[in-house]
Structure 1
Amino acid sequence: MFSIQDDLLAGFRLFSIARAYPDKAFELLLPVPLAHALQEKREECVRIAQAAHEAKEDLRREELHTRTNPPAQAPAAPLPNQVAFVKAFERGVARRRRDRRHPVLRGEELLRVIGRIATLRDKDYQKRELELTKKLELAGALREVANPAFRPEKWAKSLEYLRGAHPHFAEVTEFVARRVTLSTHGRQPLKIPPLHLWSVPGLGKTHYVNDLAQALGAPIRHHSMENAQTTSLLLGTERHWSTATQGLIFQQICLGTVANPVFLIDELDKAPRGSQYDPLAPLHSLLEPITASRVRDASLDIEFDASLATYIATSNDPARVPDSLRSRFREFHILPPTGAQALQAARVVAIAAMQQLEIPGFTSPESAICNKLAHLTAREIYQTVQDAVARAVEAGRLRLTLDDLPAAVLDECTVRSVLH
């Protein structure tokens, strides 16, 4: 310690500083302000040292108390009988028709996830996850396989529509038709390889994929890469995030009813590049048959089979798509339709749009009307024809006239600026 002597020169103070050994003590003559500052600093150091010592002692006592009085463990959620659970969950897997039903989950994997959930401390989070696994348990391991070959007459009509409404996609349509034909000569489920359709904008790629999925009888899920910022949309958010959610692949396959849904990966060439989380990264495993059979959703930390899913990507500039991904796709360059193809497509789509309204007695459109629609996309033809039918019905007619079409459609020079 040190003390201040008050009987020295005015403005100075004498300090006696005790070292580790008292006989080594020495004194310093310092100005009063400096002496006071040193004393305050020393007192502060003493307080800090005492606080640290007390905290250390508190920690030591707490550890000693924990060793001698361990906290009571929260009762874990009861686990089902393993053998019975797996047997019930996988009921029908061994006896199924492989071309019609496909197992997307294993009982042992779901049991592992349930066991992990039982150890969670957050009871609200545990409850949510157990509710989700209960849905999976009730759904079982099997999902239906969509295949239009099971209904050949309907498939023939669908093919006729695809060929007529989308003639410039003929190469894609015939490729898919051959895969459906192959599925009828074996016992394996329908599997369509990943497809990449690229062209200039405005040729109706998205509309075609929607019509193709409808023809296949498979649900479709749309995912645009243009605004994708992370990998989580496809395979889920990591569990340590409070907003953790399942990825759309898990949602569509495991929580859905079909093992081979269609996933439209739109604007593949516009995915953000150079970010820490590459939104294209999950596609490398999803598009590879071997790894696709054992993909993992990050949210539930569960492994499932997505090998039958159909992935169809679209882009405008394939050069901007990584080669590692392009090598996994069957690529098709879509060219603009010829004049004859455009006229044919306009008539097919216009008739389909009318039939969808199911108005008894309404006659098919005349060639003059279809010619006025030929420069539009399939989606635009649908919208224009159904609006025109509404005008005709209001006027008490069961046929279309040119007056029922919007002025912008009749003026081919300005149609693009109006409709886009």
Structure 2
Amino acid sequence: MSSPRFLPEHPPGFLPLGELSVLRSATAWQLLIPADTHSALVTARQNCRDGAEAKEEIPGWTTERPSAAKPSAQTPPRRKPRLVQIFDPETLEQARERLRVGEWDQQRYGSTLLDQAKSEGGYRALPRLGSALNRLEASRPLFGNLREPIEKLKIELTLASAMRSKDFRIRPVLLTGQPGVGKTQFALKLAEILGVPMQKWSAGSAQAGFQLTGGDGAWRSARPGMIFEMLAKGTSAAPVFILDEVDKISSDNRYSVTAVLLDLLEGGTAKTFEDSFLRATFDASRVVHVLTANDLDAVPPALLSRVEVFDIPPPAAEQRLQIILSEAQRLRRATGCRIELDIHAVETLAERCDLDLRKTQRLVADAFATAMASGKLVATPTVPGRARRRAIGFVAEHQPEEKASGGAQ
């Protein structure tokens, strides 16, 4: 039924219901309410509009209701990391003032580094020790020959988890043993276990202690030291610092490396460690130090008094097998290639305890790359022949060398 061309007048004292007054239809005009009720609805609607406009003018105001957050059993809320102050903002500003008299490039580099150190108010995070203990337990199969340092580290982390943040410190360790027994690999794994960054410094090729402490600002080539940079650029108060081959430290007393290390490894002096370039002190006492050496007799005695020494034996065949399989898994994740290792070649390679771990891992990587290049799904590591002693004098007959298997199937 079509609407009439002209709508009838509404009865006295009545008006259309709310917004229906704008609809010029007979149906709308049949819905009438008392005039005073209509006025009350209009007033209430206008008040709502005014209130909404006022809320929009307030910064950060939202008209949405906050949703009730339901705790999830599968994803529990993560605990905030414990923070400790490493850099004092006032000390950093004093260092910035002193930079103004230096070379332009020194000012630019130093100011940038000071800005990084000042981030988060100079505070840095401590490792999440509960998660670190779990990862430490999971890593035991890969480091069967490092049971003693792992057990010691477990004790250290357990004690640190019960201490106040300001008392957190892990005693430095020195790992000794012949090359290729896994000393450096363990130090790298430790950074992964703690969930912190890692910095490696080769003491054998160190020029002088100013690499750690920073150089004198009077020299144009001087820069801040490695320790300050490591803590300023990172977010952790306890990064792992690997001091590799400390048995090869230079004996030059003019730029003594040993003297710097003694201050760095001692908790009391490390708490007020000074960067010579910036002439600023900071707290380096929570840095986790791992020292390695091949010859314990060549390590300066003063260093030995500040570390706990562990002599690492060569890994057994079972551990070597785990390391080989772990390396293959890492390569699969890194490349996305589903390449498996030939189990017979792997077992033969694991039995070769005369090969160091670096050489073993290179053989696995080479076999993996060869299989990728040839489109094979199985990689066969090359097992080199055993080194034979040269005979002195006459040899009755020639003995052929052991054949090496290789290639990719």
Q: Same fold (TM over 0.5)?
A: yes
Alignment-derived partner of residue 293 in structure 1: 271
Partner of residue 168, structure 1: 145
- Residue 391 to residue 331, structure 1, CA distance change in 2 (3 Å): same
SS at the partner of 2:281?
Answer: strand
CA–CA distance in 1 between the matches of 2:372 and 2:127?
38
Aligned to 1:244: 222
What is the alpha-carbon distance in structure 1 between the residues aligned to residue 182 and residue 143 of structure 2?
8
Question: 2:378 is matched by which residue type in structure 1?
Answer: R
Is 1:102–1:259's contact at 8 Å kept on the other side of the alignment?
A: yes
Matching residue within 328, 332, 341 for 2:306: 328
Match of 1:250, SS state, is helix
Contact 2:175 / 2:293 at 8 angstroms: preserved in 1? yes
Give 1:381's aligned residue. 360
Contact residue 110 and residue 224 of structure 2 kept, 8 A? no
Could you tell me whether the CA contact under 8 Å between 1:264 and 1:313 is conserved in 2? yes
1:257 aligns with 2:235: yes
Task: Give 1:316 deviation, angstroms.
Answer: 1.6
**Is residue 94 of structure 2 the alignment partner of residue 116 of structure 1?**
no
- Of residues 393, 396, 405, the one that matches 2:381 is 405
**Residues 1-12 of structure 1: pairs in structure 2 closer than 5 A:** none
Q: Which residue in 2 is equivalent to 1:202?
A: 180
Q: Is the 8 A contact 2:181 2:314 kept in 1?
A: yes
Question: Of 82, 101, 105, which aligns to 2:87?
Answer: 105
Alignment check: 8 A CA contact 2:176 2:295 kept: yes
CA contact (8 A) 2:249 2:257 kept: yes
Alpha-carbon distance in structure 1 between the residues aligned to 2:177 and 2:125? 33
The one-letter code of the counterpart of 1:331 is: V
| In structure 1, distance between residues paired with 2:173 and 2:325 | 28
Structure 2 counterpart of 1:411, one-letter code: G
Deviation of 1:122 (Å): 5.5
Deviates more, 1:310-319 or 1:169-178: 169-178
Question: 1:324 Cα shift?
Answer: 1.7
Judged with a 3 Å threshold, the aligned counterparts in structure 2 of structure 1 residues 105 and 381 are, in CA distance, closer, same or farther, namely: same
Deviations 1:297-343 (A, max 9, x none): 01111111101001111112222222221110011011123344444
Q: In the alignment, which residue of structure 2 is the partner of 1:372?
A: 349
CA contact (8 A) 2:174 2:308 kept: yes
- Write the letter of the residue equivalent to 1:185: A
Is the contact made by 1:219 and 1:262 (CA closer than 8 Å) also made in structure 2?
yes
Deviations 1:105-136 (A, max 9, x none): 11221232233345x27666545544443343
In structure 2, relative to structure 1, the CA distance for the partners of 1:410 and 1:124 (3 Å cut) is: closer
Structure 1 gap ranges (5+): 1-96
Q: Kindly provide the amino acid, as one letter, of the partner of residue 227 in structure 1.
A: S
Q: Counterparts of 1:209-248 in structure 2 under 5 Å?
A: 209-248=187-226
1:405 to 1:122, Cα distance in 2 relative to 1, 3 A: closer
Question: How far apart in 1 are the matches of 2:136 and 2:186?
Answer: 12
Tell me if the contact between 1:269 and 1:318 (Cα under 8 Å) persists in the aligned partners.
yes
Could you tell me the percent identity over the aligned residues? 29
**Could you say what secondary structure the match of 2:186 adopts?**
helix
1:350 deviates by 4.2
Asked whether the 8 Å contact 1:110–1:133 carries over to 2, the reply is yes
Contact 1:347 1:370 in 2 (8 A): no
Q: Determine if contact 2:177/2:293 at 8 Å carries over to the other structure.
A: yes
Tell me whether 1:281 sits opposite 2:262 in the alignment. no
Does the 8 Å CA contact 1:236/1:248 hold for their aligned counterparts? yes
The answer to whether the Cα contact below 8 Å between 2:117 and 2:231 also exists between their aligned partners in 1 is no
Alpha-carbon shift at residue 391 of structure 1 (Å) = 2.9
Tell me the SS of whatever aligns to 1:328. coil
Q: What SS does structure 1 have at the residue aligned with 2:200?
A: strand
Deviation digits for residues 347-367 of structure 1 (CA, Å, limit 9, x no counterpart): 44444444544434x446525
Q: 1:356 to 1:185 in 2, by over 3 A?
A: farther
Q: Are 1:346 and 1:370, in contact at CA under 8 Å, matched by a contact in 2?
A: no
Q: Gaps spanning 5+ residues in structure 2: where?
A: 1-78, 389-400, 405-409
Could you tell me how far apart the structure 2 residues matched to 1:326 and 1:137 are?
35
How far residue 199 of structure 1 moved from its aligned partner, in angstroms, is 1.1
Structure 2 contact 199–242 (Cα < 8 Å) conserved? yes
Aligned position for 1:147: 128
Summarize the Cα distance change of 1:100–1:138 in structure 2 as closer, same or farther, 3 Å threshold.
closer
Distance of 1:180 and 1:273 partners within structure 2 = 35
Give the superposition deviation at 1:157: 4.9
Residues 343 and 371, structure 1, Cα contact 8 Å, conserved in 2: no
How far, CA to CA, are the matches of 1:122 and 1:353 in structure 2? 46
Mapped to 2, the partners of 1:356 and 1:410 lie a distance apart of 26
How many aligned positions are there? 309
Given residue 365 of structure 2, which amino acid in structure 1 is its aligned partner?
A: Q
Q: CA deviation at 1:194?
A: 0.6
Cα distance in 2 between the residues matched to 1:218 and 1:293: 20
**CA offsets, 1:355-406, max 9 Å, x none?**
544434x446525523324434333333322332333344444333xxx323
Amino acid at match of 2:144: P
> Which residue identity lines up with residue 360 of structure 2 in the other structure?
I
- Equivalent position to 2:285, from 307, 318, 321: 307
Alpha-carbon distance in structure 2 between the residues aligned to 1:396 and 1:121: 58
1:173 shift after superposition: 1.7
1:344 is displaced (CA, Å) by: 4.6
Distance in 2, Cα, partners of 1:292 & 1:211:
24
